[in-house]
């Protein structure tokens, strides 16, 4: 596992989908497919398109080039950034995480509603802020980090750049072709992970490419001076901080199930668990059609037949369309329907925590779904934010 930290030396425009008007918005992070494509292009330019190691580094189905998420301002990439589950809600009148250092509470915090929505009183009108009784709403910006006891929202600074298209014949500004791009401003830190099939390949990639000071280009409008990023720090064998601690997966599942039942969830099965998407995920059914949910049938086919007996209790998910340009193959990408990061799927199953952990362990390690080398399909089991029943 390689942990990578970069900073952008120029504005970044990372398309978040189809552009249907004069305004092109940007994603707040560097997608895994953009990172993979940029590094693959550099390798081809440096060592040739027929280099023997190219396919092993960039085309292996077991590799994973994860998205690079922005770090909070002033942290210089020292803290890891996470994506909130879609079960996180905040006060509509005073939204945002609590400011523990402020004397006045101008924000009423963020809390998770999964257990409440699965509880015995789920039908009652409890979707109200406990401080001001305003309605609760889903959190708009789902990027956050943890600094001590403080949860901090993370959002890079953005600005608009307006340009005109060029007339190819006269090489002047084309009439009636004014467009605006939203970009991430210079000087932001981004951090994420790369996981290759074996440590030898990771050592090779670090030795020949990912050195401190190495520069590459990602995103759109590169010919206009945008998209330059520089590697600031490369660390190896450092796991994610999401489940920091020495608990095994069995212990985590046992503790999570116990706390969920203490909170009053209704689950008739032996064990309750969730699958939370850390990145966008592409799921296809047996007929290769895009799916909008992770069904027990799919889990049984993908992981272990015992998982087909699970019951999908509730899900919070959104989808969007993704396309683009495949730098390694020099072809357009197919348009895919992805389940967005932060989506939550809650299940009950008649397996013990130890049996369930044995069957789910490959899921956290290797991910799920299609196009995983391009940064899709990372999952965590029982996201720790679900345990925040009180506002944070």
**Percent of the chain predicted with pLDDT > 90:** 34
Same domain for 197 and 258, yes or no, is no
| Secondary structure of residue 15 in the 3-state scheme | strand
Same domain for 286 and 377, yes or no, is yes
Please, which pLDDT band fits residue 328 given cuts at 50, 70 and 90?
low
Same domain for 205 and 322, yes or no, is no
CATH number of the CATH domain containing 19: 3.30.70
Same domain for 338 and 286, yes or no, is yes
pLDDT in tens, 250-297: 999 999 999 999 988 988 999 999 999 999 999 998 888 999 999 999
**Structural domains in the chain (count):** 2
Rounded Cα distance, 260 and 116, in Å? 9
pLDDT value for 20: 65
pLDDT value for 291: 92
Same domain for 255 and 369, yes or no, is yes
Query: How big, in percent rounded to 5, are the helix, strand and coil portions of the chain?
Result: 20, 30, 45
Structural domain of residue 67, as residue ranges? 2-81+156-236
Asked whether 195 and 366 are in contact (CB, 8 A), the reply is no
Rounded Cα distance, 255 and 31, in Å? 33
Q: For residue 147, tell me if it sits in a domain.
A: no
Where a domain ends, among 185, 211, 236? 236
pLDDT in tens, 82-118: 999 999 998 888 888 887 766 556 888 898 999 988 8
Same domain for 187 and 55, yes or no, is yes
pLDDT in tens, 26-73: 899 999 988 988 898 888 888 876 677 888 888 888 889 989 999 876
pLDDT in tens, 333-349: 788 899 999 999 999 99
Return all residues near 253 (Cβ < 8 A) that are at least 6 apart: 271, 273, 353, 356, 357, 381, 382
Rounded Cα distance, 209 and 212, in Å? 9
């Amino acid at each position: 596992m390689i942990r990578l930290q970069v900073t952008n030396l120029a504005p970044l425009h990372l398309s978040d989908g189809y552009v249907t008007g004069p305004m092109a918005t940007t994603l707040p992070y560097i997608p895994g497919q953009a990172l993979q494509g940029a590094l693959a292009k550099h390798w081809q330019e440096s060592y040739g398109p027929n280099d023997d190691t190219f396919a092993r580094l960039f085309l292996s189905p077991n590799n994973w080039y994860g998205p690079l998420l922005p770090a909070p301002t002033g942290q210089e990439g020292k803290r890891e950034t996470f994506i909130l589950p879609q079960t996180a809600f905040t006060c509509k009148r005073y939204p945002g995480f609590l400011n523990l250092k402020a004397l006045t509470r101008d924000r009423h915090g963020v809390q998770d509603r999964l257990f409440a929505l699965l509880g015995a009183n789920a039908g009652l009108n409890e979707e109200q802020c406990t401080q001001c009784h305003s309605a609760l709403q889903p959190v708009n910006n789902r990027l956050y980090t943890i600094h001590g006891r403080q949860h901090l929202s993370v959002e890079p600074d953005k600005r608009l750049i307006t340009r005109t298209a060029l007339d190819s014949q006269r090489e002047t500004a084309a009439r009636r072709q004014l467009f605006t791009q939203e970009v991430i401003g210079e000087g932001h830190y981004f951090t994420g992970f790369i996981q290759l099939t074996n440590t030898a390949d990771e050592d090779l990639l670090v030795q020949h490419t990912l050195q401190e000071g190495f520069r590459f280009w990602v995103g759109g409008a590169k010919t206009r001076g945008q998209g330059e990023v520089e590697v600031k720090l490369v660390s190896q064998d450092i796991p994610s901080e999401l489940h920091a601690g020495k608990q095994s997966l069995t212990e985590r599942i046992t503790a999570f199930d116990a706390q969920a039942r203490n909170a009053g969830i209704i689950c008739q099965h032996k064990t309750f668990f969730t699958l939370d998407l850390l990145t966008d995920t592409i799921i296809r059914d047996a007929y290769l059609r895009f799916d909008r949910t992770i069904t027990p049938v799919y889990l049984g086919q993908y992981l272990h037949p015992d998982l087909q007996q699970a019951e999908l209790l509730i899900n919070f998910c959104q989808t969007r369309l993704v396309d683009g340009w495949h730098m390694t193959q020099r072809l357009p990408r197919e348009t895919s329907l992805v389940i967005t990061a932060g989506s939550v799927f809650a299940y009950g199953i008649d397996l013990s925590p130890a049996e369930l952990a044995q069957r789910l362990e490959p899921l956290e390690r290797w991910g799920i779904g299609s196009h995983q080398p391009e940064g899709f399909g990372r999952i965590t089991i029982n996201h720790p934010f679900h345990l925040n029943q009180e506002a944070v």
